[in-house]
Structure 1
Amino acid sequence: MMKKVRLIFAILLINFVNPLFASNLAEIKGKVIDATTNEPLSGATIYIADLKATTISNANGEFLIKNLPSKGKFLIEVRYVGYKTISQLIDLTDAQSLKFSLQQAVIESAEVVITGTPFSSNNKTNSLAVVSVNREKLTQAGGTNLIDAISKVPGISQVTTGGAISKPTIRGLGYNRVLTIIDGAREEAQQWGDEHGVEVDQFSAARIEILKGPASLLYGSDALGGVINIIEDFVPAEGDFNGNFTTNYATNNGLSASSLMMQGNTDGLVYRGRVSYKNAYGFGYAGKTVPNAGFNETNASGMIGLNKAWGYTHLNLSRFNTNIGLVEEGPDDDGNFTDEDGNLITKHDARNRKLVLPYQNINHYRAVLSSNVLLGGGQLKSNFAFQKNIRKEFEESKDAPGLHLNLNSYTYDVKYSFANKGVWEPTIGLQGMYQDNVNNGDEYLIPDYNSNNIGFFGYLKRNFTKGAVNFGLRYDYKTVTGKDLTEDGEQVFKPFENNFSNVSGSIGISYEVAKDLVFRANAGSGFRAPNIAELGANGRHEGTFRYEIGNSNLKQETSAQFDLGLEYTAEHITFGLNAYSNRIYNYIYPGNFNNETTPFTDEDGISTSLPVYRFVQTDADLVGGEASVDFHLIKAIHFENTFAYVKGTNRANDLPLPFIPAASLNNEIRFEPTLKGLHDSFFKIGLTNVFKQSRFDSFETQTNGYTLLDVGVGTSFKVKKGKINVWVTGQNLTDKLYFNHLSRYKPEGIYNQGRNMSFGISVPL
């Protein structure tokens, strides 16, 4: 298998190099002006996503993009702060001077998106709405990590393990049901684990696109619940060389985080480099600091590629390294943390940045070759990736890990979109992945295994004046082989070989029923094969306070989801409403049944018992919706409100499903004054209202509701190289004691993070 993968890489690399000698070049030029005053707009961004081509308008509002193909239709996007974003399909065969007249608007219209579609498209033509969160909003959220920063998007929740680890949940579905895409390739980093977060440099995200609902048609297994697509920076304009330095500090856990990035474009040769570092001690609440809850993180990444008339090809390389302290037990009856001898751990000692046992060490290496070659009038897009995830857990000694997992993943994704005139848009695709995992430690949780899966799909989109319809079919086949392991005469893992296959499909429509009012409807099926922990786990999971036992007889999950949406965007108000019903057959979840426990002796010889969680299946229903109403009655003032609710039901006994997030209501008032000499100034105050979660499984407990107060203030001012941004944000200003229902520390009586202030600055280079 390895030889085949290397051969495919070599052949494709040769094919991508050959077009370098193509000589058919085109360019587009134009001007961006104010629609009312006809004044030129300097600094507008002009972007063609399918070609990764971008430029910025000059002082006269003029722009020029070179090294484009001589023919083909592509969607071009023009954005400028304070104006409606517009997109237009352009034909490069008849390239003319373009003029974009932008209208001033309090509300910026939806961006062009790339998630949930084989090619970039206006979000209004997608039957499943994609939510886009840009870098500014990510920064101003003041999150301790990337998932924390998007957790207030309606329908998005997070499974937290302290301040270091957040796992995304979309409409009540998480773990291997949500697919994370980084550098265009699916992330493979042992996502089955409670404390296995998204392993990506948060500073590298220019924006995040979130697709809610089953996306198995285009992404295969593990996209049953949705997709989180982390998108890198725009490629700089030709002849441009720039950079950025960002740093911030947070008071709650002493988090210091900094990142340096430089990038350039020399005659279509594009390149980027970034290094980042984060360090924090344990988070705190109500005057207490959780010992050994700190972490440190070092990231390095680079990109080199070519943007030419035949398309583009980019090679992304990255290394993510983190050390995360693991909390073994919660506070005593008085709320104090003590060591193994019962001695009180002082706040000063708990804030030591040096981790002690136990802790995790994770290295994740990623290499992704992404290309779009214009071929036969169509587009051949491909992503080939290799990822190595090395996960070590040190419990008894810092010299030798107990649990030591080494996962290698090879993924490929090839799509061909046929030539079209902007009406019929057909695409066919081939995707697959090969994995092998090896245990190198003396403790075990999952067996050595390998898996192989392949999927084929066909997708067709029909555009019309006021919307679009789309439909498609897909077939997947996957094998998972678990290896036998016998130690000291005792069988730790029994061998198994499971095969899974499925046909899935989707049909949807997006239609502008009236001016500024868009209706969406989608019916889709999803598919997910059981992950290796669900099939073969047998061991104590450090940091989750439980013993897990898998079931190799589990069947695959399949789902049928119906989604309805209504979106209204006017000059001073936006309104959105989404409702969904998702039935999942053979839904897999871990449960502690009949209070089952198993004896456990730690490294100090202290005996205790751990709850046993076994993976079982049932048919399940998840029903819910999201609503948003944003008022902008005065240009400088924004009043934004969102609500999200999901109800999970076990159809076997009509009882609640476990691990379902509580309903939430978010309100935020944002004031954006015009200040002389300053730009993008804002002041915001928000309330996060999380309702009581009274629907829970027998092994869970009720979680009370709570309200958190957040504030933020920031501005920017222009310098020769761009704009310097400064901001201050505050979270949970009242220092509210609360448990999030999805917190992995809740069973141990450890509250979520208390008051936190974050100070940041971003400087162009």
Structure 2
Amino acid sequence: MKLKLFYCFIFLFVCISASAADVIDLKGKVIDAKTNEPLAGATVSIPDLRIAVATNLNGEFTIKSIPQRGNFVVQVQYLSYKTLTQTINLSSQTPLVFALQPSVIETHEVVITGTPITAGSRYNSTSASVVTKDQLQGSSTNLIDALAKQVPGMSQITTSQAISKPVIRGLSYNRVVTLNDGVKQQGQQWGDEHGIEMDQFSAGRVEVLRGAASLQYGSDALGGVINVIDPAIPAEGTVAGEFLTNYSSNNGLTNTSAMVTGNQNGFVWRGRGTYQNAYSYNTPAGRVINSGFNQTNASAMVGVNKPWGYSHLNFSYYKNNIGFLDAEPGDELYNTSTSRTLDFPRQDIRHYKVALNNNFLFDGGSSLKLDLGYQKNQRRELEESTTPSLFFDMNTYSLDAKYSLPEMNGWHPVVGLSGALSHSINLGEELLIPAYDEYSTGAFVYLKKMWGQNTFSAGARYDFIKNKGKALTEEDGNVKFPGFNNQFSNMSGALGFTHVFNDDLSFKANAGTAFRAPNPAELGSNGVHEGTTRYEIGDANLAPERSYQADATLEYGSGFVTGSVGIYENYIHNYIYASNTNKEQTTVVDEITGESRAYDTYRYGQVNANLYGFEGNLTLHPVPFIHFENTFSYTHAQNNTFNRPLALIPAGTLHNTLRFEPKVKGLKDFYFYAGIDNYFKQGRVDETFETAAGGYTLLNAGIGATFNIGKQPLKLYVSGTNLTNKAYYDALSRLRPGRFSQEDPTFGIYNMGRNVTFGVYIPFGTNR
């Protein structure tokens, strides 16, 4: 209750403090830099105001009723032209003219908002990739699956087809933060088979920040951040929307999503609904028994965009039902069933979220971004009926405030404050982790200075976290959970530097420390984790992880060649992971049936670890309509304490795609491509409970175009993956041999076979 009152006090204070300001209609024009011809249909956006407009037939645009104060980053995009980012002062009355350079490179320079100060990527030391809305459509089964296929240095830990956990530079679980609506996603990220509860079609775009981000986000951001950004608000007086649907041949997956958004006199709103349904996925050996899923998502936003800034209230509901195969060596794994009815065991996951996002603008150029959140995560494990055996119910309240002060002698300072309270209880009969309360608070200061073509940044942060696990004694006198009451505090620091050599070449580097506090599952687990078919035991004496890391990236983009290469080093003291090093087993007797079963026992412990590697991309444009795209990544991870490799580390990858975009009369954005995905052998495994994973190569292809039916655009596309129907086991699949069962290291389940996806996308809009 105190936390809620604190939230209300801050909100009322800033509403009173944000004085009224003069407003202007920001006008300008977008032209071709060589011919001075106007560019109709170019997109002009101001990310920090969450608004975007398109130019008219004369290349002109108007952004109505925006505050006449402060500096803001403006991004201008247009097909076949180099994206332009520029910082402008809104107090200027001079009409803006943006001259775009014709280029086959469209996204060499992008705006990054997930760092303390919004800036173009070349002036931001964080290594980042941006995935657009169009790139999130296709044959993916969830958001993380879509990102992992496109972002260098990112991969995924999968359980069947419906669950994907993000991995960035070899780090996963609670070491990667996912943001949506400016709020940290809190949904039992510690679990092997716990995915990200988020609608992949709701994002306007996604930023993937690689490397430690503890300075701004505190604990859990050792590996990086996935920042899911809502679609921009349309121009005032406009209603816009979209409808998309696709079908995948392998698993019968149907995706249908519809969205409508509007802006009327500064009152803004948006609504979206999405439904997904898939039956068991097919492999060269047959369909994996009970591997289907269905998902329902609904979200809405209402708010205001005014001279003092904006305030948006977001609601979202996520429900996912996922089937699981519970098998032992010798059991049947595959059949031919295409039934969409899920059998037991299965998961029933529900996530509710309310987020209030605000950006208050003050006189003098200062601003306050304030994000308040409430989340309710419910995870039901259904073994034999709809009555859950395990049932986690977690409620989280959060606050994140970031105050940007006016620039002083070229220095741009930012101070931040964050806090969260989580309360988790067990509502099922079977128990794995104790009920717990978690409190966290943190504060940071950040400075950034630009001079010439250089940018320097530095920051420091203090965090305090308290975990309190509830003790539990069962009716027979057995102590299930002894309870724990742990407090952790930490100081983190970071330095960053960028240098822009010229329009084509830039360099960035970072060095700093980060940390992660042990989560309640690592501290207090004692039970069978049904989704992983293993017995887990925590350790209440675990210490926080502390990371020391550095990275450097060189980026290049000319008319014919674009690319980047980055290297990184990350030493982690007290790295936490669960292992079954002594082939230990725990026998559990079912209280109802009396049957007993032996489970592999995994205990949480700590070691010192070192991870280093490289990642990058290279795209060649021999002629404007041909793109030869290549991405690559490799992570070397060592358990220094026991002088052996770390577990659950992705294999090296090399993705090659030849893409053609010829001009075809009557078609817009026509393309077709063919690609090869190369996954190398992962022989560096923890042999105490892992086996090596073989390499494999997959063939992919696709085609698509946009048609105009009258004035209505219609986008059609077809994409195919694993076209040769290759039988393979991915190194990070939890169902591959050596992970699915320790009793028989050869016992495993193949990844998805050939899959062809047919899709339709229809954008629409009206002017009032």
Q: TM-score, normalised by structure 2?
A: 0.95
Gaps of 5+ in 1: 338-344
Paired residues of 2:210 and 2:223 also in contact (CA < 8 A): yes
Equivalent residue letter for 1:636: F
* Residue matched to 1:568: 556
For residue 395 of structure 1, report the CA deviation from its aligned partner: 0.9
Equivalent residue letter for 2:754: R
Q: Determine which of 311, 317, 323 is the counterpart of 1:319.
A: 317
Q: Deviations over 1:85-134 (max 9, x none)?
A: 11111111223101111111001243443344223201001112210011
Paired residues of 2:136 and 2:201 also in contact (CA < 8 A): no
Secondary structure of 1:446's match?
A: coil
Q: Quick check: 1:759 aligned with 2:758? A: yes
Alignment CA distance shift 1:674-1:606 (3 Å): farther
Q: Determine which of 255, 268, 271 is the counterpart of 1:270.
A: 268
Q: Deviations over 1:351-389 (max 9, x none)?
A: 211111111111100111011001242010010000000
| Percent of aligned pairs sharing the same letter | 48
Alignment CA distance shift 1:115-1:29 (3 Å): closer
Alignment CA distance shift 1:93-1:15 (3 Å): same
Higher alpha-carbon deviation: 228-237 or 418-427: 418-427
Secondary structure of 1:415's match?
A: strand
Q: Quick check: 1:417 aligned with 2:404? A: yes
Instruction: Write the distance in 2 (CA, Å) between the matches of 1:528 and 1:721.
Output: 53
Paired residues of 1:330 and 1:750 also in contact (CA < 8 A): no
Q: Determine which of 657, 672, 676 is the counterpart of 1:668.
A: 657
Instruction: Write the distance in 1 (CA, Å) between the matches of 2:710 and 2:95.
Output: 29
Q: Quick check: 1:652 aligned with 2:649? A: no
Instruction: Write the distance in 2 (CA, Å) between the matches of 1:667 and 1:525.
Output: 35
* Residue matched to 2:3: 5
Instruction: Write the distance in 1 (CA, Å) between the matches of 2:250 and 2:594.
Output: 35
Cα RMSD for the two superposed structures = 1.6
* Residue matched to 1:236: 234
Secondary structure of 1:202's match?
A: coil
Q: Determine which of 377, 395, 400 is the counterpart of 1:389.
A: 377
Instruction: Write the distance in 1 (CA, Å) between the matches of 2:394 and 2:198.
Output: 17
Q: Quick check: 1:443 aligned with 2:430? A: yes
Paired residues of 1:113 and 1:130 also in contact (CA < 8 A): no
Instruction: Write the distance in 2 (CA, Å) between the matches of 1:674 and 1:99.
Output: 28
Paired residues of 2:620 and 2:628 also in contact (CA < 8 A): yes
Equivalent residue letter for 1:186: K
Instruction: Write the distance in 2 (CA, Å) between the matches of 1:134 and 1:683.
Output: 18
Q: Determine which of 565, 572, 575 is the counterpart of 1:577.
A: 565
Paired residues of 1:28 and 1:96 also in contact (CA < 8 A): no
Instruction: Write the distance in 1 (CA, Å) between the matches of 2:541 and 2:297.
Output: 39
For residue 463 of structure 1, report the CA deviation from its aligned partner: 1.1
Instruction: Write the distance in 2 (CA, Å) between the matches of 1:668 and 1:394.
Output: 42
For residue 604 of structure 1, report the CA deviation from its aligned partner: 5.9
Equivalent residue letter for 1:637: I
* Residue matched to 1:407: 394
Paired residues of 2:177 and 2:220 also in contact (CA < 8 A): yes
Equivalent residue letter for 2:375: Q
Alignment CA distance shift 1:721-1:584 (3 Å): farther
Instruction: Write the distance in 2 (CA, Å) between the matches of 1:543 and 1:556.
Output: 26
Paired residues of 1:357 and 1:395 also in contact (CA < 8 A): yes
Equivalent residue letter for 1:150: L
Q: Deviations over 1:619-677 (max 9, x none)?
A: 10001011321101110000011111001111112210111111111111000111111
Paired residues of 1:116 and 1:215 also in contact (CA < 8 A): no
For residue 27 of structure 1, report the CA deviation from its aligned partner: 2.0
Secondary structure of 2:622's match?
A: strand
* Residue matched to 1:164: 162
* Residue matched to 2:725: 735
Paired residues of 2:356 and 2:371 also in contact (CA < 8 A): yes
Equivalent residue letter for 1:762: Y
Paired residues of 1:327 and 1:543 also in contact (CA < 8 A): no
Q: Determine which of 460, 477, 500 is the counterpart of 2:464.
A: 477
Secondary structure of 2:91's match?
A: helix
Instruction: Write the distance in 2 (CA, Å) between the matches of 1:263 and 1:433.
Output: 31
Q: Which residues in structure 2 correspond to 1:565-714 (within 5 Å)?
A: 565-601=553-589, 606-697=595-686, 698-714=688-704
Instruction: Write the distance in 1 (CA, Å) between the matches of 2:753 and 2:86.
Output: 47
Q: Determine which of 440, 445, 452 is the counterpart of 2:439.
A: 452
Equivalent residue letter for 1:180: T
Higher alpha-carbon deviation: 627-636 or 421-430: 421-430
Q: Deviations over 1:490-539 (max 9, x none)?
A: 11111110010110000010102355111111101111001111111111
Secondary structure of 1:633's match?
A: coil
Q: Quick check: 1:495 aligned with 2:491? A: no
Instruction: Write the distance in 1 (CA, Å) between the matches of 2:492 and 2:85.
Output: 32
* Residue matched to 1:540: 528
Q: Deviations over 1:544-572 (max 9, x none)?
A: 12111111100000101010111111111
For residue 606 of structure 1, report the CA deviation from its aligned partner: 4.8
For residue 20 of structure 1, report the CA deviation from its aligned partner: 8.8
Equivalent residue letter for 2:598: S
Secondary structure of 1:173's match?
A: coil
Instruction: Write the distance in 2 (CA, Å) between the matches of 1:85 and 1:330.
Output: 54
Paired residues of 1:124 and 1:467 also in contact (CA < 8 A): no
* Residue matched to 1:340: none
* Residue matched to 2:511: 523
For residue 722 of structure 1, report the CA deviation from its aligned partner: 5.1
Q: Determine which of 175, 179, 185 is the counterpart of 2:177.
A: 179
Instruction: Write the distance in 1 (CA, Å) between the matches of 2:308 and 2:502.
Output: 40
How many residues get paired? Answer: 750
For residue 242 of structure 1, report the CA deviation from its aligned partner: 1.3
* Residue matched to 1:716: 706
* Residue matched to 1:559: 547
* Residue matched to 2:449: 462
* Residue matched to 1:144: 141
Paired residues of 1:50 and 1:119 also in contact (CA < 8 A): no
Instruction: Write the distance in 1 (CA, Å) between the matches of 2:105 and 2:19.
Output: 45
For residue 330 of structure 1, report the CA deviation from its aligned partner: 6.0
Equivalent residue letter for 1:609: A
Secondary structure of 2:6's match?
A: helix
Instruction: Write the distance in 2 (CA, Å) between the matches of 1:514 and 1:729.
Output: 38
Paired residues of 2:136 and 2:200 also in contact (CA < 8 A): no
Q: Deviations over 1:126-178 (max 9, x none)?
A: 112210011112214x2111111111321101000111010000000000000
Higher alpha-carbon deviation: 511-520 or 468-477: 511-520
Instruction: Write the distance in 2 (CA, Å) between the matches of 1:131 and 1:89.
Output: 21
Paired residues of 1:20 and 1:308 also in contact (CA < 8 A): no
Gaps of 5+ in 2: 741-747
Secondary structure of 2:148's match?
A: coil
Q: Which residues in structure 2 correspond to 1:123-138 (within 5 Å)?
A: 123-138=121-136
Paired residues of 1:477 and 1:502 also in contact (CA < 8 A): yes
* Residue matched to 2:91: 93
For residue 718 of structure 1, report the CA deviation from its aligned partner: 3.0
Higher alpha-carbon deviation: 558-567 or 422-431: 422-431
Instruction: Write the distance in 1 (CA, Å) between the matches of 2:711 and 2:214.
Output: 43
Q: TM-score, normalised by structure 1?
A: 0.96
Instruction: Write the distance in 1 (CA, Å) between the matches of 2:406 and 2:18.
Output: 21
Equivalent residue letter for 1:144: T
Paired residues of 2:347 and 2:379 also in contact (CA < 8 A): yes
Instruction: Write the distance in 2 (CA, Å) between the matches of 1:600 and 1:686.
Output: 48
Alignment CA distance shift 1:155-1:54 (3 Å): same
Alignment CA distance shift 1:256-1:79 (3 Å): same
Paired residues of 1:573 and 1:629 also in contact (CA < 8 A): yes
